[in-house]
Amino acid sequence: MEKNIEEILEVLKAKAVVLSEMLKERLAGYSDINNASGDHVLKIDMKADLLFGEALKTLKCVKGYVSEEQPNFVDVNKDASLIVTFDPLDGSSLVDSNLSIGSIFGIYEGGLKGENLVTALYFIYGPRLELVVAKKEAKHYVYVDKEWKFIQDFKMESKGKLNSPGGTQKYWDKKHKELIDSFFARGYRLRYSGGMVADLHQILCKKGGIFSYPATSDAKSGKLRILFEVFPFAFIYEKAGGEASDGKKRLLDIEVPSLHASTPCFFGSKVEMKEVSDVYR
């Protein structure tokens, strides 16, 4: 299986380099399509989806894939066992404001359940193209002079200084607002760009803090998609020594009701995540 996972990673890395070049052209126009999550699809979303999807179709070791931009499972090789999920370009609505965005992937051995996730990774397209890939550790790389250079294994401390609160504040539950305000009252710094990849990457790079996207009165199951966004980051955060929950339960233990289902989610250092569970349980 290890060799097959490496084969998938090599293909995805090559395509991420291509996509990072495409992003330099500022392709900020919308297509006339809405995806299964109801998001209006940008042309660059479609290009990214095609880029990674077509590449995965060339691999005999891939049983199939699920993309945030595709309504259904895409079959590749029925005799294979690895399934790839991906958000081809998360945060693409930030392309026009030139903020950092990313591509998020999960690789599963067997069915699409948290316990079957064997590798998770993301690319971040910022001033630099970088990659974080987690199997046993969460390993951080930068793409320089046409090579992926290892930077560090992420190791989160038990407590951080950053607070990254998602969701429309006027729709937050009272207890959630009190929790977020209590972090700020203790001096936590606000770090929120509206791009999950950059916001969660920053907390990993700064070795601690808390990211939240809760259930709100206008989004009862939260906004972030379990398979395309939440499970991969939950896996990466745990490998980095952090935690990831829906407030009550470890995220990688939750059920996946449907391919495009979303969930409330919290990612962070152990001390902050304990406060989350004290409030939500």
217 binds ligand P6P (CB under 6 A): no
265 with 212: CB under 8 angstroms? yes
Q: How far is the CB of 211 from ligand P6P (least distance, A)?
A: 8
15 binds ligand P6P (CB under 6 A): no
- 37 C-beta neighbours (distance < 10 Å), count: 17
Shortest CA distance to 194 belongs to which of 127, 94, 125? 94
194 binds ligand P6P (CB under 6 A): yes
Interface stretch with ligand P6P, choices 88-96, 125-133, 241-249, 254-262 (CB under 6 A): 88-96
Q: How far is the CB of 91 from ligand P6P (least distance, A)?
A: 4
223 binds ligand P6P (CB under 6 A): yes
91 binds ligand P6P (CB under 6 A): yes
Cβ proximity to ligand P6P, 56 vs 200, nearer residue: 200
222 binds ligand P6P (CB under 6 A): no
**Sign of CA pseudo-dihedral 203, 208, 209, 211:** positive
**Sign of CA pseudo-dihedral 199, 193, 164, 43:** negative
Among 35, 85, 93, 103, binds ligand P6P (CB under 6 A): 93
- 31 C-beta neighbours (distance < 10 Å), count: 14
262 with 219: CB under 8 angstroms? yes
- The binding track of 165-184 with respect to ligand P6P, each residue x by CB under 6 A or -, is -xx-----------------
Please report, for residues 19, 49, 118, 185, 259, the alpha-carbon distance to residue 42 in angstroms, rounded to integers and kept in the order given.
Answer: 14, 11, 30, 38, 21
247 binds ligand P6P (CB under 6 A): no
Among 88, 160, 195, 264, binds ligand P6P (CB under 6 A): 195
- Distance CA(97)–CA(280), nearest Å, equals 35
Residues binding ligand P6P (CB under 6 A): 90-91, 93, 166-167, 194-196, 223
